[in-house]
């Protein structure tokens, strides 16, 4: 049985790439909800319905577990999905906890989508760490669109980042948390805006590790060959253009390791 992944687009490949490296003996189905991209600017009610549709589709394909490879969908829908479905569901959240642990409550900047920033889940995570006074939040919605266009380091990308940071002092931060799976593709260019000591942290590796541990706990690890099937909104087979784009993004992520 395969493992299901879903995201609004192809940002969730940042988590899938980690899973493929850690568990090459699994098969995967990746659901890209491209018709509803981007989630970060939709209402919570819309996102919850998109997520439910994706999980229902992946369950119908026999997936033994589902990874919500989208911080926004996790923040809105993960608890309801876990109540509604019996199969294991793993979400991804902004890696605020490891950032706080690694930096000792020094100042942290979290970049995420507008919905992730507004939702109570992230605020609760920050409060539980007693880090309200050391964490700043910054919405970066256009990075999702840039990523989907495979535009990572153009003058337009740099100008957008510069404009969003105009009221921030990058040298004041000890860590930058990438709170959207699409944002991992901009590590290099973001690094040019922050001084060398600033750590850039995301939650993809921790999510893949949690998935692996959960499968092992349930005794359902393995049984595949590393095959990845791509589907789009509604479970339709992905067009060749998207499959090619996904392959290029995965290759790019491997080179970034």
| Residues 148, 172 contacting (CB under 8 angstroms) | no
Q: Which of 64, 71, 35 is nearest to 223 (CA)?
A: 64
Structure tokens at 46: 């819309």
Neighbours of 239 (CB within 10 A): 12
Is 147 a residue of the active site?
A: no
Is 57 a residue of the active site?
A: no
Q: Are strands 175-178 and 108-112 parallel, antiparallel or unpaired?
A: parallel
Cα–Cα distance for residue pair 210/1, rounded to 1 Å? 18
Q: Which residues contact 76 (CB under 8 A, 6 or more apart)?
A: 44, 47, 48, 51, 115, 119, 121
Instruction: Give the SS3 label for residue 137.
Output: strand
Structure tokens at 25: 């003996």
Q: Which of 236, 237, 235, 238 is nearest to 60 (CA)?
A: 235
- Catalytic member of 57, 63, 147, 180: 180
Q: Which of 80, 166, 172 is nearest to 119 (CA)?
A: 80
- Catalytic member of 57, 63, 70, 147: 70
| Residues 72, 116 contacting (CB under 8 angstroms) | yes
Active site residue ranges: 70, 180
């Amino acid at each position: 049985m395969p493992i299901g992944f879903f995201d609004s687009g192809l940002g969730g490949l940042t988590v899938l790439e980690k899973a493929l490296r850690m568990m090459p003996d699994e098969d995967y189905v990746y659901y890209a909800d491209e018709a509803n991209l981007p989630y970060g600017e939709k209402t919570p009610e819309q996102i919850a319905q998109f997520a439910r549709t994706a999980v229902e589709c992946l369950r119908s394909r026999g997936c033994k577990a589902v990874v919500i490879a989208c911080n926004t969908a996790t923040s809105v829908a993960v608890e309801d999905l876990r109540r509604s479905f019996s199969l294991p569901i793993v979400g991804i959240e902004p890696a605020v906890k490891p950032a706080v642990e690694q930096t000792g409550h020094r100042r942290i900047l979290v970049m995420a989508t507008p919905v992730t920033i507004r939702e109570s889940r992230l605020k609760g995570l920050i409060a539980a760490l007693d880090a309200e006074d050391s964490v700043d939040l910054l919405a970066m919605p256009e990075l999702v669109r840039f990523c989907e266009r495979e535009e990572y380091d153009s003058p337009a990308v740099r100008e957008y980042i510069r404009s969003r940071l105009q009221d921030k002092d990058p040298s004041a931060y000890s860590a930058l948390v990438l709170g959207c799976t699409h944002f991992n593709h901009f590590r290099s260019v973001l690094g040019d805006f922050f001084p060398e000591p600033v750590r850039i942290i995301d939650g993809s590796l921790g999510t893949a590790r949690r998935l692996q541990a959960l499968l092992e706990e349930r005794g359902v690890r393995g049984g595949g060959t590393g095959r990845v099937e791509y589907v789009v909104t509604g479970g339709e087979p992905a067009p060749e253009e998207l499959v090619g784009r996904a392959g290029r993004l995965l290759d790019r992520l491997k080179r970034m390791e």
